[in-house]
């Protein structure tokens, strides 16, 4: 029975369950970003079911004036959450399902990856270290970072498929990783590339990376190009020096960290994968410490928080734990496995549940109009003063024009306007918004206050303002579609 991988996976899930138990409690836990993720998802869902795809502009946020946050920040968890919510789960429960499912699946994928190289006992140890590593749990219950937790689930999946030489699933995994969390993709893609160089060949690396980048192009290319339209470069979201690992937060490493490293030194082997993961563990640990400050002047614009390198540390420790246990046999192996299990639970015990819950109805989140970012860093740069409220979605700002038959949906505003004048639609302009007067596109101005304005000349006008893809975004969508066709075609061919 102990040699049956499915039985081992079942036991692994039982061992991981303490890490998700708090998610089964009613309400939603207080965290840094978790509440914002629920709000953002609810707004995303509104735009998606009303026809915006891919979803880039969330019309309800920013006090109803709209905010293009999903054009820039990791939308995968919201795409995954859409069918879950459609099945009847609340917005809160949907996010909790994604968090818990990601933690459990991350453990299973870690086991399946490590099992390609080691036995059941060693793979079980590594998977448990990965799943219940203190930082992993802290990411859920303190930070509420849904995108990061989802990305941490995908990394061992990709490595598992690399071991299986499955070009299709590696490509899909890489594309999903990029869309799941921008920053963790930057951290892990070099790690994954290095692993492929050691264990496959350059052709496999080139094809999977190319297809993965192509699959994510619908998100990544607009996120990079459209950043110029925002105030992002002018805003300092945080000071990296406040987020190093020090004596106050050393528990994020737990006792499991020094134990595995000492274990690795004692059982040191000249194995390419062992040396690789030992190196990335040590380098990543160094980058979480204040002594690495000199490098953070260059890293901070991309990574923001030094503690994020603990994501790479936990992957390295998972491999090293499995490697070390795999080198032992008999009673010594059983003893070492027991010690690893005890240490990971001792390390995790203070992170297994949040400090406080709040029990609000779904309407609390689905009507909230926050921007869901710390300093509104993705606000279009032509918005000089943040708008706070409006009396009507459409206003006449010049002339004697009158507005009637107003119909509002998340992605489209339609109305009739009578007589000449200047009309203001109380929506922040972002490339993609277009206005049609009597079926013909008209010029939009937005420099005055960042909102959509346009002139009408006729006595009777049918007006339609709607959000659509720009040429660059259409090109990016086309790249992703072609990449998906190639990936599916390769799968059918194989």
Q: Is residue 199 scored above 80 in pLDDT?
A: yes
Q: Is residue 108 scored above 90 in pLDDT?
A: yes
Domain ranges of the chain: 5-366, 394-472
CB 438 within 8 A of CB 458: yes
- Per-residue pLDDT band for 3 (boundaries 50, 70, 90) equals low
Alpha carbon distance 301, 288 (integer Å): 15
Give the pLDDT mean for 255-263: 95
Q: Across the strands, what pairs with 423?
A: 396, 454
Residue range 394-472 forms a domain whose CATH class is mainly beta
- Per-residue pLDDT band for 2 (boundaries 50, 70, 90) equals low
* Encoded tokens for 111: 């086991």
- Is residue 429 within a helix (H) or strand (E), and if so which, with residue range? none
CB 450 within 8 A of CB 409: no
Is the previous residue joined to 133 through a cis bond, with omega within 30 degrees of 0? Answer: no
Per-residue pLDDT, 1:
43
Give the pLDDT mean for 225-249: 91
Q: Is residue 7 scored above 70 in pLDDT?
A: yes
Give the pLDDT mean for 55-78: 96
Our measurement of the distance from residue 302's CA atom to the centroid of its chain's CA atoms, rounded to an integer in Å, reads: 15
Check residues 457 and 205 and name the one with the higher pLDDT. Answer: 205
Per-residue pLDDT, 493:
74
Give the pLDDT mean for 478-490: 93
Per-residue pLDDT, 478:
97
Per-residue pLDDT, 147:
96
Average pLDDT, the chain: 94
- For every residue of 345-390, DSSP letters joined together read HHHHGGGSS-S-EE---HHHHHT-----SSS-TTSBTT--S-----
Check residues 211 and 403 and name the one with the higher pLDDT. Answer: 211
Give the pLDDT mean for 124-152: 97
* Encoded tokens for 141: 């219950």
Alpha carbon distance 320, 282 (integer Å): 12
DSSP single-letter state for residue 173? H
């Amino acid at each position: 029975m102990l040699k049956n991988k499915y039985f081992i996976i079942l036991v692994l899930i039982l061992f991981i369950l303490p890490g998700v138990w708090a998610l089964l409690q009613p309400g939603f836990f207080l965290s840094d970003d978790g509440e914002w993720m629920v709000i953002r998802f609810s707004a995303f869902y509104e735009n998606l079911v009303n026809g915006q795809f891919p979803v880039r502009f969330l019309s309800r946020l920013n006090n109803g004036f709209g905010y293009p946050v999903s054009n820039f920040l990791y939308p995968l968890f919201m795409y995954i959450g859409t069918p879950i919510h459609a099945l009847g789960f609340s917005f809160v429960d949907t996010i909790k399902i994604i968090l818990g499912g990601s933690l459990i699946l991350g453990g299973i994928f870690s086991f399946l990856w490590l099992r390609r190289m080691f036995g059941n006992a060693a793979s079980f140890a590594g998977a448990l270290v990965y799943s219940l590593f203190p930082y992993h749990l802290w990411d859920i219950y303190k930070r509420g970072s849904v995108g990061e937790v989802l990305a941490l689930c995908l990394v061992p999946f990709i490595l598992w498929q690399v071991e299986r030489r499955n070009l299709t699933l590696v490509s899909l995994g890489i594309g999903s990783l990029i869309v799941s969390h921008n920053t963790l993709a930057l951290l892990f893609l070099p790690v994954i590339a290095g692993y492929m160089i050691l264990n496959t060949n350059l052709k496999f690396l080139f094809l999977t990376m190319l297809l993965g980048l192509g699959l994510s192009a619908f998100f990544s290319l607009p996120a990079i190009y459209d950043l110029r339209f925002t105030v992002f470069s002018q805003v300092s979201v945080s000071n990296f020096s406040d987020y190093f690992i020090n004596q106050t937060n050393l528990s994020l490493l737990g006792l499991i960290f020094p134990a595995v490293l000492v274990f690795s030194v004692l059982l040191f082997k000249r194995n390419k994968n062992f040396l690789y993961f030992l190196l990335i563990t040590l380098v990543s640990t160094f980058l979480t410490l204040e002594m690495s400050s000199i490098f953070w002047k260059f890293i901070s614009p991309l990574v923001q928080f030094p503690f994020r390198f603990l994501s790479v540390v936990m992957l390295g420790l998972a491999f090293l734990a499995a490697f070390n246990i795999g080198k032992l046999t008999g009673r010594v192996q059983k003893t070492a496995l027991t010690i690893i299990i005890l240490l990971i639970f001792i390390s995790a015990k203070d992170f297994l549940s949040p400090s406080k819950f709040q029990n609000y109805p779904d309407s609390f989140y689905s009507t909230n109009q926050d921007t869901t970012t710390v300093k509104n860093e993705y606000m279009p740069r032509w918005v000089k003063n943040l708008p706070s409220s409006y009396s009507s979605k459409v206003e006449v700002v010049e002339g004697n024009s009158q507005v009637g038959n107003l119909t509002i949906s998340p992605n489209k505003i339609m109305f009739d306007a009578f007589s000449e004048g200047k009309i203001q639609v109380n929506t922040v302009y972002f490339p993609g918004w277009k206005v049609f007067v009597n079926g013909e596109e008209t010029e939009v101005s937005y420099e005055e206050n960042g909102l959509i304005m346009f002139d009408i000349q006729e006595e009777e006008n049918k007006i339609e303002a709607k959000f659509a893809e720009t040429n660059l975004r259409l090109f990016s969508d086309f790249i992703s579609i072609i990449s998906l066709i190639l990936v599916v075609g390769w799968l059918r061919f194989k």
